[in-house]
Amino acid sequence: MKKWTRSLIAVLLVFTAILGFIPAKTAHAQDANSFISSMIQLPTGSYNTKEAQAMIGRIQRIPAPILKALNDKGVKIILTNDIITNVPELNYLKGVTPRGWEKTGLTWDDVPGVSEKDVVVRIGYSQKGKGHNSFNLEIHETMHAVDRFVFNTVSSSQEFKDIFNKEASVNYKGDGYFSAYPEEYFAEAASMYVYNDNTRKQLKDSTPLTYAFFDKLFNK
């Protein structure tokens, strides 16, 4: 059974701050640091530490109170060097075709990230096109956990479904995924909201109802 360690988390957080991956809002970053260190699990052995630092920094863009709520729920974020189905908790997904991928010939063995009880993402697969269509892999998968464990699956609420029906097709028309499943639209739009000022503005300009929903949800 593969063992995971958090022995390098403190070092990574220091390097992340030095290299500027943590957002400039120092108070938010310091708050997020206290939660992220107990949530992140790193692989043993060699791996791309620079990319792991960057992934941790991007996850810290999620508001600190939300990260704290995830941590309080016992959610872990596992950064792996391996295919995700080799993580012991995900062995049961080997050979299984993900929902929405039925015509691709691919299985969970080919997917670089998933959000179950814990979030599991492959190091070096953050960008769109690296086995997924999400704007950012680690934030998208973490937002699924936020949806379920922090906001009690708010993506299934009538309020959000109404917004989904009106705006999901604006940016994702015919994609068969973000425009087809409210929970996927939630995770992707939430990622755009927190990623940076530019993506937040894009969200506001193109889908104002979606923007207003997250602006209220994340600033309670």
pLDDT in tens, 111-142: 999 999 999 999 999 999 887 889 999 999 99
Q: Which domain holds residue 182?
A: 153-219
Over residues 15-59, the pLDDT tens digits come to 444 444 444 444 455 565 677 888 999 998 899 999 999 999 999
Alpha-carbon separation of residue 148 from 66, 67, 116, 186, 195 (angstroms)? 12, 13, 10, 11, 20
Residues 123 and 158 in one domain: no
Residues 65 and 131 in one domain: yes
Query: Is residue 43 a part of any domain in this protein?
Result: yes
Residues 41 and 120 in one domain: yes
Query: Residues with catalytic annotation?
Result: 141
Residues 133 and 167 in one domain: no
Query: Is residue 37 a part of any domain in this protein?
Result: yes
- Residue where a domain terminates, one of 149, 165, 184: 149
Judged by DSSP in three states, 78 sits in strand
- Total number of domains constituting the chain: 2
With bands split at pLDDT 50, 70 and 90, how would you rate the model's confidence at 97?
very high
Q: Distance (Å, rounded) from C-alpha 93 to C-alpha 136?
A: 22
Residues 120 and 133 in one domain: yes
- Supply the CATH number for residue 91's domain: 3.40.390.10
- Mutual angle of helices 137-145 and 182-195, in 10-degree steps: 120
Query: Is residue 18 a part of any domain in this protein?
Result: no
- Residue where a domain terminates, one of 115, 149, 183: 149
The structure's pTM equals 0.84
- Asked if the model's pLDDT at residue 11 lies above 80, the reply is no
